[in-house]
Amino acid sequence: MNEATLVRKGMFRKVLRAILMMVSIAIAFFIFGMLGAIYNAFTAGIDVAAANRLVTVNKINFTVSMPYAYYGRVQQVEGVENVAHANWFGGYYQEPANFVQTFAVEPEGWLVAYPELVIPADQRQAFIDGRTCMAAGEMVATQYGWSVGDRIPLSSNIFQNTQGNNVWELDVCAIFTTEDEAVPTNYVLFQYEYYNESLAFARDSIGWMIINTADSSLNDQVIRDVDALFANSAAETETTTEAAFNRAFLEQLGDITLILTSVIGAAFASILIIVGTTLFLSINERTKEIAVLKTLGFNSTRIFRMILSESLLLSLIGGVIGLGLSSLIVMGLAPILSGFIPGFGVATETLVQGAILMTLFGLVTGFFPAFNAMRLRIVDAFSKL
């Protein structure tokens, strides 16, 4: 009988107990995988932010608009290579439940600001030239079955137009994709001019500006110069890097990292105590068996290795089941949630971290039982019989 067989038989000495321990570990790693997917979705915007891209908003709050004139003034700031602006439309398709992230933008500047958006040349030009043209992200187009050439009524839950309703008729003339899956395509863009001239109120204002600097080393200077332009005005500005803006936006929802770390930490600590205690008791029950193995010539190091291997196998089997199950569920939910939560998925980094945690978990829970088994004296073991 080889060592692997002894490890297997020791691990499944009581089948039900072994299964329950693996289920406990699987639950912990299932939680780890699901929360990792949520964290990945929330931080996707930070990871894909360009180093030379800045965001300018009203200093009061990013929901407060700024005068349209700011757009022209920022273009004159030294070090600024491109400026784009956008307004939040608050759109939905047919029914309020069919939420569609919609932005009114200046097309040419926006496409320069975001070169990661991939649009065929003819569709790109149509978007720039077409007054009622809409560029739809691939996720949204797929979700609602839109194709180039379709005429789509988009409604706003914020604004009314000069016709006395909240519906803007738009033509799908472009569908954009991205090469990087982390970059979202769950929104649509349409012409600011068409939006602005159709508004019943709040015309000639912009929600925020996207600034591309000539080089990221100029960011600090451009930030100071832009905000100095509008200091002491009725609408002071606050300019930050895109990554910092996205991070600040997330922080309004709470410290996501702290929340996830706390939940995962609590789950692992609980499972660690349960599995560690159960393993310790299991080894104590096998005092006679360990003494017999030592009598037959198994040295202390080999006993230590066998007990630790049992713990590692339990951790790896349970961890793989839990992480695998979370990956399958996330894969199933990702297409459904793509319109609302882009980037929802179990990243490779999460899987690597999971594998490391499985190993550490197995080592920590198995070390002390294995150490006690290694130190066990044959005389002491038999004297307890």
What local confidence, expressed as pLDDT, does residue 173 receive?
Answer: 93
Q: Which two tokens stand for residue 141?
A: 């187009």
Please list the helix, strand and coil fractions of the chain in percent, rounded to the nearest 5, in that order: 55, 20, 25
What local confidence, expressed as pLDDT, does residue 21 receive?
Answer: 82
* Sign of the dihedral defined by the CA atoms of residues 89, 92, 94, 97, in that order: negative
Domain definitions of the chain by residue range: 3-46+255-383, 65-234
What local confidence, expressed as pLDDT, does residue 46 receive?
Answer: 47
What is the C-alpha to C-alpha distance for residues 327 and 267, in angstroms, rounded to an integer? Answer: 18
Q: Which two tokens stand for residue 337?
A: 């949630």
Best CA proximity match to 245, nearest among 12, 53, 382, 76? 53
117 touches 178 (CB < 8 A): yes
What local confidence, expressed as pLDDT, does residue 99 receive?
Answer: 85
Provide the residue-wise pLDDT of the chain in tens; the chain has 385 residues: 566 676 667 666 777 877 888 888 888 888 888 877 777 766 655 455 567 889 999 988 777 889 999 999 999 999 999 999 999 888 888 888 888 889 999 999 999 999 889 999 999 999 999 999 999 998 889 888 999 989 999 998 888 888 888 899 999 999 998 877 667 788 899 999 999 998 888 788 999 999 999 888 888 999 999 999 999 888 999 998 887 776 665 555 555 566 666 777 777 777 777 777 777 777 666 666 666 666 766 777 777 777 788 888 888 888 899 888 888 887 777 665 554 555 566 777 778 888 888 888 888 877 777 777 776 666 555 565 5
340 touches 99 (CB < 8 A): yes
The CB density around residue 201, as the number of other CB atoms within 10 Å, is 8
Helix (H, G, I), strand (E, B) or coil at 243: helix
